[in-house]
Structure 1
């Protein structure tokens, strides 16, 4: 398995697959359009965020979107993991863990004092994040009508 930045064709594939990734990541509560994904991702890419992809024999298996964010209270610049996704057929093979390790290494080497991510309550990825050393920092609650 190789972890690297995507070429333009691979980036286009990621953007086409991202609505499904966001749908699954939000546990089916959001069904974004391709246009909405572009509205979310393009500003991140313009500000220097990047994808890392997992491939084997030129086959895209998964990706992670990393970059920076600003703490809303302290204005401190931190590393941030915006998205992690592994294609259905490649799940259960440790690809998420490899992507996370590479992302953490890259963000740490860039000097960020902390790395954060957001995850929906009940998402099975929380187990991986906790194994990787992440802990709950804040909780967003909602009351639906």
Structure 2
């Protein structure tokens, strides 16, 4: 406040989905300062108060979403937040790949058939998706239970790639949006257009249901981030994180 005038507010609390969180994790959902009071320190004051409240509530870490180089990003970076994940968006894509590649809808057994390969390198999963194999398997099974779809890319009758995606409703606009839960290509077939072929099939399938925008989230500064840029995805937002154990 400035006198009787409310000049800004902050909304923070527990992460909505703490299934995969290591310990208690808080999240800053919204931080707003009126135009005339920006650059006056009001944002920093609100952020500081929010962090202290979360720390008193025994949260170990806190996260916040924003976009790169904006006022929120600069505020969070100045307070010690570091980039953790990055979210991309993409519309309908079209890719002409190797004719020997064939994409088809899959079933749970297809996921099980490639999961050994996916989970054989736990350190890669951690660095690329910030998950352990068991966390990934739990998440994907829950996605499939909720209507998620599997795509399998085959070459010469062998599964060489998999993509799992779902549809959700934007709570503010009520528009249908797509979300890519996982895209994985067998090591020997990377760089051959498999992932692009899967992405093209998925976005075209979603477009037929009225979905104009699809999202994909991965670890910041990972191979998945480089792939997302290479296939034409646009950077949408960044998740930053700070430890409260200092």
- Structure 1 residue 38: deviation in Å? 3.2
Q: How does 1:59-138 map to 2 (within 5 A)?
A: 59-71=158-170, 76-138=175-237
The separation in 2 between residues aligned to 1:77 and 1:123, in whole angstroms, is 28
Instruction: Report the Cα distance in structure 1 between the residues aligned to 2:139 and 2:199, rounded to whole angstroms.
Output: 21
Q: Quick check: 2:166–2:179 contact (8 Å CA) kept in 1?
A: yes
State the Cα distance separating 1:88 from its structure 2 match.
Answer: 0.5
- 8-17 or 83-92, larger mean C-alpha shift: 8-17
Q: Which has the higher helix share?
A: 1
Q: Is the 8 A contact 2:154 2:160 kept in 1?
A: yes
Cα RMSD, aligned residues only: 2.6
Give the paired residue count. 144
Q: 1:13 aligns with which of 113, 119, 131?
A: 113
Shift in Å at residue 24 of structure 1? 2.9
Provide the C-alpha distance between the structure 2 equivalents of 1:123 and 1:72, rounded to a whole number of angstroms: 30
Distance 2:142 2:130 in 1: 20
Q: Tell me which moved more, 13-22 or 93-102.
A: 13-22
Q: CA deviation at 1:99?
A: 0.9
Q: CA deviation at 1:17?
A: 3.6
TM-score of the pair, normalised by structure 2: 0.51
Q: 1:83 & 1:29 partners in 2: Cα distance?
A: 9
- Flag the structure with more relative contact order, 1 or 2, with Cα contacts below 8 A and sequence separation at least 6: 2
In 2, Cα distance between the equivalents of 1:28 and 1:133? 19
With 134-143 and 74-83 compared, the bigger mean Cα shift is at 74-83
Bigger Rg, structure 1 or 2: 2
2:102 corresponds to 1:2: yes
**TM-score relative to the length of structure 1:** 0.81
Displacement of 1:122 in angstroms is 1.3
Match of 2:127, SS state, is: coil
Structure 1 residues 96-105 or 15-24, which shifts more?
15-24
Range moving further from structure 2, 14-23 or 129-138: 14-23
SS in 1 for 2:239: coil
5+ residue gaps, structure 1: none
